[in-house]
A = this chain, B = another copy of it.
């Protein structure tokens, strides 16, 4: 992304400052949340001048996006040998990332600025959801090859339903305590439904 071996004139940007900025951003995000987190506070706590931040990022959203991105680990497609094993792995991975202070704040922030900064949710979509969606497609294909499941079901749809449920559970915890159970149940029903003879939907 940055061709750091270019012979640019002048003092190079401090890697140390850069790391301090990103770490402090994540710390503050987890501590006080996106809204209550000020660039001023990040600069002060990181021991960095404000312009040093603004030179790198145009907005708080951009900074936070990069901070989160910087800590993202490479996602490995699970391969446990069975469909349900893989699905459990996917759910567990998603839950670990999502259901902790930083994760909650991240999602909250992403969602909160979905309308005001649409490109922001887009980043989340491309960087985070898309890879998992594709991983699920792979998992699904493998299960199909093992004849575990029917072939006429769109894995993307299943993935979106699962993601939607997790998002829903994140936003409304009081209505959906047993969200993991709901996800398993729903996935099962979808797979069965695809196998069963079609039910006519007369309104369509």
| Copies of this chain, count | 4
Q: Which residues of A contact B (CB under 8 A)?
A: 33-36, 82, 84-85, 87-88, 104-105, 108-116, 118, 121-122, 124-125, 129-130, 133, 153, 157, 160-161, 163-176, 182, 184-186, 188-199, 201-204
Q: Point out the residue from B110, B172, B184 that lies within 8 Å of A171, measured CB to CB.
A: B110
* Interface pair B204/A84, CB less than 8 Å apart: yes
Q: In the bound complex, what is the Cα–Cα distance between A191 and B35 (angstroms)?
A: 42
Which B residues are CB-close (under 8 A) to A175? 125, 129-130, 133, 160
Main secondary structure of the interface of A (DSSP, over half): helix
Contact B108 A115, beta carbon cutoff 8 Å = yes
Chain B's closest residue to A197 (CB) is B192
Beta-carbon contact of A188 and B192 below 8 Å: no
Can you list the 6 inter-chain pairs with the closest CB atoms, starting with the nearest? A112-B112, A164-B164, A193-B193, A189-B193, A196-B196, A84-B203
Chain B residues whose C-beta falls within 8 Å of the C-beta of A36 in the assembled complex? 116
